[in-house]
Structure formats: C-alpha cells, structure tokens
Amino acid sequence: MTTGTFDGVHLGHKQVIDSLISSAQELKGESTILTFFPHPRIVLQQNTKLKLLNELEEKIQLLEKTGVDNLVIVPFTKEFSQLTSSHFVRDILVDKLETKKLIIGYDHHFGRNREGSFKHLKEFGPMYGFDVEEIPVKDVDEVNISSTKIREALEEGKVKKAAVLLGYNYLLSGEVVKGKQIGKSLGFPTANIKVNNEYKLIPLKGVYAVLVHVNGVEYKGMLNIGVRPTFDESNSLSVEVNLFDFENDLYGQTLKIIFVERIRDEKTFESSDDLVTQLKKDEVNCIKELQ
C-alpha cells in the first residue's frame, strides 16, 4: 500500500509505485494505491489558487497504466480531515484494506493536522501487524521531480520540459462549444474548448503545436490559449484548436488535447490580414514540430 494525492502521476511518483509493485510481488500480495478526491488543499484552503495537473479520470487512466493492482479513491471532506492518524491507520489501512506493508515518501504526513509521520507509522506497525518502508531522501532528490515544478513549467509555457518531468505529454480535455466563428471567417476554423474543471491547469497563453484525439482518432493541429486581443475586448480566456485536414462538425464532442510544443506568444495584430499571415506561419511551424 502507498498513499498520496499523486497529482500528475509523474516520474517521481512512478519510482514509489515501482517499489510498491515490487514489494507486493515479493509478499505474494496485491499492490494498492490510496488517493483522495477532491484534492485536500481544495477542501481545506478557502480561495486556494492551486491548479491541478490531472482531472480525476486522467489520474485513474495514468495510474492504471502503471500496473498497480488496486486503486482506492477516498472522498476527501472536512469531516474526513479530522480523522486522527491512529484512526486512519486502524480503521482504513488495517481494518478495511488489510495492509501488510506501507511504502511512503520520506516527507509523508497524514491524519488530522498532518500529525502522522514515518515515526508514528513505525510505532503503529507492530501494533497492527504491518511493515513500513520509507523511500530514502537521496532517492527522491536524485529524481528531483515534483508536481510543483511541473506546474511552474506549464505556467511558463515550457510544455517540453513538463513532458520530460511527467514522462508523458501534458494533456487537456474539454467539450467543444459554440464560439464567435472568428477563425472560420479567417480560413482557420477552430473548435472552442470548454474546460469543465475549474482547477485544471491551463498552460501559459500562446500558440501551441498539439495532437488532438477525436473519437479515438488522432489529428495534428495548432491551439491558441488567450484573450483574442485583435478582436475581443472582453478579456475572457479562450482555448481554441484548429485541426489540420479535418472538416467535420465537432460541437458537443469531448476532445483530448496533447501539448507538444509552444510556438509563440499571443500577439495583437493591426489587421485581419496580418493575423492570417501569422497563422499561416504558425501552421507551418506546428507541422514541423509534429513530424
């Protein structure tokens, strides 16, 4: 068993999960990850500015790919946050999940006010019949990866750096909704994406080369994140994607967008013609990145 939020399911997490799976096989048992939804900070910190790397469904799919046997998702509430570390161990880890070995990161805390620590677990282990293994600080530092570093990279538009830390390209999903048809009038029809999860991190404004999954089929495209400064004075953020070699209606469909590279900053243009000229250059640059 291991427990944590696992936002991003990045290479640092995978080190812990690999150790978990290996230990489970040695014990001839099953590997289990216990995680929480919603993210504890969203529940406990009012007006938090936290942005998440994964929506719940994304996290489930990523954890499934790791080969872990079981995933337990605990509904995180303010009431649950008041559970003491001893009750958490006894009632959940032991009574419900029959934990035989617990693997945790070196700085892991749990229970009310984060009172539980590796020291507490070492005391609880003999009482309830389970072993505890702590991932050494040197092993975690060698990987040198954290969800915070990945968020910072994406907020700076460094999607390639984020992909190296994650072990996969960052992705975003959303429903196609009616837009203002500006792209279509310019010869670059775009699908206007509504990201339903307000806590999902949207990378820095700009133009990106992307891959887009539509009904299981992958297309190349270019995506703009911004406020459409040449046309729009509302200052509302939009996410719009132009799919290459695609002409069908997308309204109401959910698209999965995979970020490959950031092409340029968002700009204000003097005229529609100037914008079209730039979009043609963007298309060429995106195709090069996606080859």
Return the structure tokens found at 58. Answer: 């994304």
Taking the C-alpha atoms of residue 213 and residue 220, their distance in angstroms, rounded to an integer, is 9
- The string of DSSP letters for 198-230 reads TTB--PPSEEEEEEEEETTEEEEEEEEEE--TT
3-state SS, residue 30: coil
Widest CA span in the chain:
74
Q: Under a CB-based contact definition with an 8 Å cutoff, are residues 226 and 238 in contact?
A: yes
Alpha-carbon dihedral of residues 132, 98, 75, 143, nearest 10 degrees? 30
Supply the residues annotated as catalytic.
Answer: 240
Single out the residue of 233, 187, 228, 186 nearest to residue 205, CA to CA.
228
200-232 as b/e, with b when 16 or more CB fall inside 10 Å?
Answer: bbebbbbbbbbbbebeeeebbbbbbbbbbebee
φ and ψ of 289, to 5 deg: -65, -30
